[in-house]
Amino acid sequence: MMLGFGMSLAIPTVVIGSLMSDGVSRDMTLTETEASWYGSVLLVCHPTGGLLSGLLQELIGRKWCLAAVSLPQLVGWYVLWRAENAFELYVSCVALGLSMGLSEAPVLTYVGESVEPRLRGPLSSVSTFTIMLGSFIAYLMSTVMPWRTVAMINMAVPVVSFAAIVLLTPESPVWLLSRNRLSEAKKSLAYLRGCVSPDDVEDEFSELSIYAGCNKCVDLEQYADCGMDQRRLSYVKYLQIKTNDATNVDIEALTERNQMDSSVLDTFNNFWPPELNRPFLFIMIFFFFWSFATFIPAKPYLIAVFEEIGLPCTAQWTLVYTSILTLMGTLMNVLTVSKFGKRPITLVSMALSAFSMLGIGMHMVSVTYFSFSCTWVPMVLLNTLFFFSGYGVFPIPWMLVSEIYPTKGRGVASGLTAALAFLMTFILTKSFLILQAWITLPGLFIVYGAITLVGTLYLYACMPETENKTLQQIETFFIGDLGVFDNYHGGLN
């Protein structure tokens, strides 16, 4: 699934590089304006898919929302394979963009709801690693075969993904609990924990039931008698107290609301409860800085960017090895996020990405105005940028999307988050060539680096550590109980 996402993300770079490169025989051509639209339309359609995924997740579940991704992805690859003009290229990107938007939020939501806290970070990072792997495979294939052949081969990905999801993937237990399908939820949880007996997941199922609001009266003595860990038992009590308190508050609030006509507000709150506001604001500001720190708006034009920087190897192979570096960074994230935590990894990666872009920009200025050139300097800085972009910048906010939203409204919020994140990226991508003509490529590197530096300071002040925390702890933090992480700093193991 996410392999196809990465291939979709990379294909505009491959096609634009092929159709606009000098000295390359081709059956189509693109003007600069057509190239900017082709490089951007993928990202503007992603938000539409993201918004649609938010509704589909709640209506048909996480599993079938993921299965639905395969159809537009297959259509997109087929249209690209047969494309004969710029309009058909746009159509292929519309379909691929919709598939990207439909897939991202459900994958992250599914991971957040289905895995244990100690594994949630690494597994969320695995999805990002798979995206990077897909981009790398697309770039590598483009060095040895035409882009049409790449598109034809990629049609196999959605077919295999659909079969794997339908045949091998259970529905999210949290979503099933939210629909009061308790028996199915327990079976799903038992399957996800290694095909164990439903009795073996009774403790965790009770916690999830309380978290999802389906079990207000758990017999705690029963779990004490059966030997539940005291730390875990105390946390279940904490959840029950919080849930019961919330229930009492809801009853009082309902009594007051019955005295007034508030049906519109109630309907809105069903889709967007107030508890979403703080995490949504935090993550959207994070994504604003993420758009600059990853240098992703330049992605469709990377071949031309690499040529202008003046690197000692060809732009096409630079594209391949920088993809390898990003892939290595993401793999390092998978291996180390549980040990170091998301917060320090993010801060270090953001800071080094900022200084790398500032350094590349200043080196290009020195070449232009002072005739000083040392090709290894931008090479080292570029390597640093792409490695740390993969290590801590690109994956972390998507990992947080799977964690920070409460169950009620999570599907809508995660879909809207993905949509707005890529809408920002679309605006930056569409304006990249315009800004480059206005302030030059060195100026863009410096501006992007400066904004990323500001983002580092914002995250230092506002980003909590969520690694090894339960979903309930994270939710409690964002609704105002800032001390909950101190009380349960080690998570629940």
Residues 437-492 pLDDT 10s: 999 999 999 999 999 999 999 999 989 888 877 777 777 777 765 444 444 333 33
Q: pLDDT higher for 80 or 417?
A: 80
Q: Could you report the per-residue pLDDT of 263-291, keeping only the tens digit for each?
A: 444 444 554 666 788 889 999 999 999 99
pLDDT of residue 26: 63
Q: Is the pLDDT of residue 81 over 90?
A: yes
Mean residue pLDDT across the chain = 80
Kindly tell me if the per-residue pLDDT of 3 is higher than 50: yes
Cβ atoms within 10 Å, residue 395: 29
Say what the pLDDT of residue 203 is.
78
**For 182-208, what is the mean pLDDT?**
82
- Inter-CA distances, 133 with 46, 57, 324, 443, 471, Å: 20, 26, 8, 31, 29
Please state the rounded mean pLDDT for residues 214-234: 45
Query: Which residue did the predictor score with more confidence, 253 or 381?
Result: 381
Query: What whole-number percentage of the chain has pLDDT above 90?
Result: 28
Q: Given this model, what pLDDT does residue 358 score?
A: 97
Higher per-residue pLDDT: 24 or 45: 45
- Is residue 268 exposed (0-12), middle (13-18) or buried (19+ Cβ within 10 Å)? exposed
Q: Which of 112-121, 241-250, 377-386 has the lowest mean pLDDT?
A: 241-250
Q: What is the rounded average pLDDT of the residues 296-322?
A: 83
Q: What is the pLDDT of residue 450?
A: 97
Kindly tell me if the per-residue pLDDT of 421 is higher than 50: yes
Taken in order of first residue, the domains within the chain and their CATH numbers are 2-172+272-473 (1.20.1250.20), 173-270 (no CATH)
pLDDT band at 229 (very low <50, low <70, confident <90, very high): very low
Query: Of 21-30, 55-64, 376-385, which range is least confident?
Result: 21-30
Q: Which of 144-148, 194-198, 232-236, 281-285 has the highest mean pLDDT?
A: 281-285
Tokens read off for 484: 């909950």
- The span from the CA of 298 to the CA of 468, in Å, is 34
Residue 425 pLDDT: 87
Residue with tokens 């330049």: 298
Contact 429, 412 (CB under 8 A): no
What pLDDT was estimated at residue 264? Answer: 40
Contact 188, 173 (CB under 8 A): yes
Q: What is the DSSP letter of 389?
A: I
Q: Residue 431, by phi and psi: left (phi above 0), alpha (psi -120 to 50) or beta?
A: alpha
Higher pLDDT, 418 or 296: 296
Question: What confidence score (pLDDT) does residue 218 get?
Answer: 46
pLDDT band at 240; cut points 50, 70, 90: very low
Any idea which residue has 């709640």 for tokens?
Answer: 58
Q: Tell me what the mean pLDDT of segment 427-433 comes to.
A: 88
Give the residue carrying structure tokens 């990377």: 302
pLDDT recorded at residue 44: 79
pLDDT (tens digit per residue) in 37-73 = 888 888 778 778 877 887 888 888 888 988 999 999 9
Look at 421 and 237; give whichever has higher pLDDT: 421
pLDDT tens-digit readout, 316-344: 788 888 889 998 998 998 889 888 999 99
Total-model pTM: 0.69
Residues in contact with 341: Cβ distance below 8 Å, sequence separation at least 6, in sequence order = 465, 467, 468
